[in-house]
Amino acid sequence: MNFDAEDLGLGNRPVAAIATLYRDDRLSALGFAQSRGVGHIGISAGPHEIAPEVATFMHQPGRAPIVLGTEWLVGATTIPVLQLASLFRRVEGIRIAAVLDDQDKGGPEQVADLERLTGASPLALERRDGIYSWLAAGDMQTTIHAVDGTRMEALAISPLDIVALGTETGAKNVRFDLAEGVSFTRRNGRAMSTEIIVEVTGADWADRPLRIRQAVIHPQGQMSRTGLGVAMVLERLAKRHFIIHGYRRMRSFAAGVGIFTASSGLASWHAKERAYDPEKVRRSTSAAVWTAMHFDEIEDILSAECSGDDVVEPEMS
């Protein structure tokens, strides 16, 4: 593809949706998607970089959906956290720690994106006492406990999960930390994996203090989860294109026009599917994938729940 050309070198070839998997500083792919009226997902822009995408939508709000996909694993972290949050009447705090195995890295563009996220971005965003703010340099370093209790040095980062979860749950405190090194499974003689450790605090539906700490690993690492999230979003974006071109039976399964995060888009589009035909959704491949993202087909290796006087302080410091 030629990103210096307005048509990306594709000429008149039909395109139903576009995903950009690296940092496209010129927004060539997004501009092409808008010119064709097809949906676009990008998975690279951090919170401090999304203004051009937002402005593109603001100036042509009815043109095509735009998905800001820079949540950790493209929604596969935020969506399970929202599942846990449904157990609470009131969510007060969300703490997420991801462990990236040092063998779980892709090509040069992916490495450059990760370095930009962890090093070149202007500090890290968190929500503290209801206020979104950029952490001071001295507050970004921390220590987390991996799923087997191993202490690991970590660094605060700011994927869009921070604002997505703060907005959706109302939690006044949201932070995301990333540790790089040897994953739990590799320390135990198995293949590398990706780990996500989630801690949610607040009050249950009887208004008693509640803390849930849950850790999930996936044995194929972060790249397969990221690819899955992109594929699910592309499926919905492409179905919108087919509807426009006469495939009306897909109407309830498609993305609407708007600006979305991956998790908000997938949640709203999945709700349409479920309302349209729950039995068909249960049998569909997409629903099986959705179920997997809700832990059912991912190895759930740690779950702890405390309430009332048993509440303990978070293990992440």
Give CA 269 to chain center in angstroms: 16
Percent of the chain with pLDDT over 70: 74
What is the pLDDT averaged over residues 126-133? 96
The mean of the pLDDT values for the chain is: 79
| Per-residue pLDDT, 249 | 47
CA distances (Å), origin 166, targets 30, 155, 208, 269: 27, 20, 21, 21
Res. 116 pLDDT band, cuts 50 70 90:
low
Average pLDDT, stretch 284-311? 36
* Residue 288, pLDDT above cutoff 60: no
Mean pLDDT of 117-125: 70
pLDDT one-digit tens code per residue, 233-259:
888 888 766 555 544 444 444 456 788
Q: In this model, does residue 225 exceed pLDDT 60?
A: yes
Q: How confident is the model at residue 108, as a pLDDT?
A: 73
What are the backbone dihedrals phi and psi of residue 206, each rounded to the nearest 5 degrees, phi first? -100, 10
d(CA 303, CA 298): 13
The CATH architecture to which 78-222+298-310 belongs is: 2-Layer Sandwich (3.30)
Q: Is the pLDDT of residue 304 over 50?
A: no
Terminus-to-terminus CA distance in the chain, angstroms?
46
Q: For residue 119, what pLDDT band results from cuts at 50, 70 and 90?
A: low
Band of pLDDT at residue 120, cut at 50, 70 and 90: low
Q: Say what angle helices 78-85 and 161-169 make with each other, to 10 degrees.
A: 20
Report, as an integer, the average pLDDT of 42-64.
90
Do 64 and 164 contact (CB within 8 A), yes or no? no
Answer yes or no: are the C-beta atoms of 23 and 112 closer than 8 Å: yes
Percent of the chain predicted with pLDDT > 90: 39
**Contact of 236 with 221, CB cutoff 8 Å:** no
Question: How is the chain split into domains, by residue range?
Answer: 17-71+225-291, 78-222+298-310
302: pLDDT strictly greater than 50:
no
Q: How far apart are CA 222 and CA 133, in angstroms?
A: 27
d(CA 94, CA 130): 12
